Structure 1
Amino acid sequence: MDTSATLRQALLTDREHTLTLIYHRTFPLVRRYVQQQGGSAQDAKDVFQDALVIFYEKAVAESFVLSSSVSTYLLGISRNLWRRELSRRQQLPATSLREEHTQEVAEEAEPGTDGREALAVLDYVERLGARCKDMLLAFYYFQQPLEQIAGALKYGSIRSATVQKFKCLERLRKSVRAAVAESVAH
């Protein structure tokens, strides 16, 4: 994959194989970078997946010119995405769920529950709606590949399924954060 045209052709003719090769060469670099910057292995996977989607969309465009190695280019995208994520995380209110807050939430829970259900993420997943629930459970709980999920949920492409998964995950994060912030404020 010496030139942009060769790379584009490889992605268009044998996308899965080409992306797998790129993944095996580049993901360890991204994982190391994200972990050195305070992230987890899962953070690295999320960042790299988003970077790979961005890279793929640019690489198959006729106007794309690759002036570095694929790994260097992807690492650059990943670094930018990770910096943006760190910035977003720093802007969130610093809240901790101390014992007293957990007790308050438990006291406000429905009679007959012990409070853990009030904080269960699955409750928040249920509130997202059937499509988001199906998407997130299939991907994270049942660990189904996005190709399978895209077909089962009738998305037009894997890219559409990836975008929808990201949107669902962001909605879930926002609702959990809001609930935690609300419980801490009371």
Structure 2
Amino acid sequence: MNDKQILELFQNGQREKAFSKLYGLYPKIEALILSKGGTKQDANDVFQEALIILNRNLEKSGFKLTSSIYTYLYSVSRFIWKDIQKKFSNQETHNFETDEIECFHSVLEEKKYQQAERAFLELGERCQLLLQLFYIKAMSFKAIAIQMKFKSEKIAKNQKYKCLAKVKDIFKTINTVQF
């Protein structure tokens, strides 16, 4: 199956079928990671993360794949592995080609998604629920107050603000620790 057909599977919502085809590229990515001192488990983890990045980018309306899927996954995997190893030199980052810069930014963006998810998961269940009701279910503060048994919608609004401040603090802490 060629790249165009795989991309059509993504566009038609047949992601599982597209991913099963992409797994044919895994041995090449595994060879890359093994040649850089990684293990088979490292290769598996890196490949999974590269697929997540590809998937997220394909969901963006402005994203245009300018290389083959293999080249894209190879570049993203290389950046993920180097990021894990913390082996980017300043000279290397200055010499990136345009496509490599896009891949590098995708890896950094994915890292931020993971940090945000981790910060959210470190919140208490009540804050998680409140933020999900507001941001995901788009519920009004009045409805949130009723469901969460707050005395008023003003209290619900204040609690949302406190939960948001807390998750931002956790995110900053995670970001500081990892970089």
- Normalised-by-shorter TM-score class: 0.3 to 0.5
Structure number having the greater helix percentage: 2
Which one scores higher on RCO, CA 8 angstroms, separation ≥ 6? 1
The TM-score normalised by the length of structure 1 is: 0.43
The TM-score normalised by the length of structure 2 is: 0.44
